[in-house]
Amino acid sequence: MTTIKASKTKPVPTFKQDKKSVYLTKQLNLWYGDNHALKNIDLDIKENEVTAIIGPSGCGKSTYIKTLNRMVELVPSVKTSGEILYRDRNIFDKDYGVEELRTRVGMVFQKPNPFPKSIYDNIAYGPRIHGIKNKKILNEIVEKSLRGAAIWDEVKDRLDQNAYSLSGGQQQRICIARALAIEPDVILMDEPTSALDPISTLKIEELVQELKKDYSIIIVTHNMQQAARISDKTAFFLNGEVIEYDETDVIFSNPADKRTEDYISGRFG
Amino acid sequence: MSVREKFDYELNSAQEQLILLSNMAVNALTKAVDALAAHDIDAALEVIEDDSDINQLEEEINDRVILLIAKQSPVATDLRRLIVIIKVATDMERVGDYAVNIAKETIRIGKEELLSPITEIQEMHRLATAMLNRVIEAFIEEDIVKAKEIAELDDQVDALYGEVINKLLVAGAQNPDKISQITQLAFVCRYMERSADHATNIAEQLFYLVRGRHYDLNK
């Protein structure tokens, strides 16, 4: 019997090696007290890509994303081991200032959380903290950030209105604009559309596609179809471990691990 | 019933319908060839008439699968399974069409005495239906080893096809008055050869279903 070979037109794209790593996680472990929440995580996250993190509730995906900007340290009794290299530098190094890290890494949360201020002041908040006082420069930053978050046309005539007067989807884009205003390198998104209606969700998804040209985006999502639609790579977390990390096309068409297949097919989780 | 159970139930139902469709198509092929050998016009007419059932079942399967894809957004093996069901249904429906074509040739030939290659045509039919029946089994069991063996049988059908066509050409030279029957029989051979090709297609689909990659079993 002759051996059979698969045709060369396989739909499986190979990992592009030429892209630089933005985050390189090596053997990361994290404990909340006695609870071992992240176990030996190794992940190589590339720049100018959308990396989706999926997995059932409690699998550690939010913990992981909050570790990337060291927000997880706000939880008492957190202990970590291993390394996270951001642009080749270990973020756990004693001389690595957390403020410095967070000016490079913006974050958008599940529920839109604008400040109870005007739309303008929401966006100008970060730059002002960083010492920018010149009104003209601030105006430019505000417009550029709002345009970048695809909401400029909707709010340009009412920048002095309270951000709370906007819809949920608009508020979330204000939060993205606020993250863009400090000109970050990475944007972390923790379930950014789970509180939004389908149209707003679509707008955010389109925005993410647009933003990856200039930023690296890491997004935690419960919406599997969203991960399939918008991400380049997908990491599947389960019980604090990375079960599989591959091109999104592979994860959703022919995953290597049965647990990944079971999860994306809705057999558990 | 949970959402996942409902999905599995619908998927199984579509698979069962596909198996039914396959059996109907293979039976139609057998009935058509038997009718040809026996000059049984009534049986040939039945084959033609019953084909609408096969067509309708294929449509039902397609509708069911499309609805499942639209409503459940399946991925990975689930998605491949559904796509493969649609493709196999198309292959089997086509086998049903060949049965109809053979039935029409039978009616055209009428009561005219058949030339000798009919035994080889029956042998082709035996091989083609064996392939189709086994590919259905392989499909049910998702057994790619079996699928590979089926594809290898296709070489025998192809060889036989070449042989019968040669014999028909010789017979045509010897019996110029039977040139019409010879043409009809050549078509019948072609339909049988195509039916076997569809079995090979299905075997390839089975590889795709199990492995998630495309294979060419015709090499």
- For B56-77, write each residue's pLDDT tens digit: 999 999 999 999 998 888 999 9
Identify from B9, B213, B215 which residue to disrupt to test chain A contact, counting A C-beta atoms within 10 A and taking the largest count: B213
This complex has an ipTM of 0.74
SS3 label, residue A184: coil
Cα distance between residue A71 and residue B161, in whole Å: 72
Quick: pLDDT tens for B109-149: 999 988 877 889 999 999 999 999 999 999 999 999 999 99
Quick: pLDDT tens for B162-178: 999 999 999 989 999 99
Q: Does B217 touch chain A (CB under 8 A)?
A: yes
Please report the DSSP string for A141-170 in residue order: HHHHHHHHTT-HHHHTT-TTSBGGGS-HHH
Please report the DSSP string for B77-99 in residue order: HHHHHHHHHHHHHHHHHHHHHHH
pLDDT at B1 over 50: yes
Q: How many CB atoms lie within 10 A of CB A77?
A: 9
In the numeric block, the tokens 């739909």 are attached to A11
Q: Give the percent of chain B with pLDDT over 70.
A: 100
Query: Residues 6 or more apart from B41 whose CB is under 8 A from it?
Result: B35, B106, B107, B110
Q: Give the percent of chain A with pLDDT over 90.
A: 83
* The pair of three-digit structure tokens given for residue A63, joined into one six-digit string: 């913990």
CB pairs under 8 A between A and B: 48
Binning pLDDT at 50, 70 and 90, where does residue B11 land?
very high
Quick: pLDDT tens for A81-131: 999 999 999 999 999 999 999 999 999 999 999 999 999 999 999 999 989
In the numeric block, the tokens 């994303």 are attached to A65
Binning pLDDT at 50, 70 and 90, where does residue A10 land?
very low
**Mean confidence (pLDDT) of chain A:** 91
Quick: pLDDT tens for A159-190: 999 999 999 999 999 999 999 999 999 999 99
Q: How many CB atoms lie within 10 A of CB A19?
A: 15
**Mean confidence (pLDDT) of chain B:** 94
> How much of chain B is in helix, strand and coil states, percent to nearest 5?
90, 0, 10
Q: Does A9 touch chain B (CB under 8 A)?
A: yes
Q: CA of A261 to nearest chain B CA: how many angstroms apart? A: 7
Closest partner CB to B217 (pick from A4, A266, A267):
A4
- Contact state of B76 with A4 under an 8 Å Cβ cutoff: no
What b/e sequence results for B206-216 when a residue is b if at least 16 CB atoms lie within 10 Å of its CB, and e otherwise?
Answer: bbbbbebbebe
Q: How many CB atoms lie within 10 A of CB A133?
A: 8
- CA atoms in the 13 A half-sphere facing the CB of B122: 12
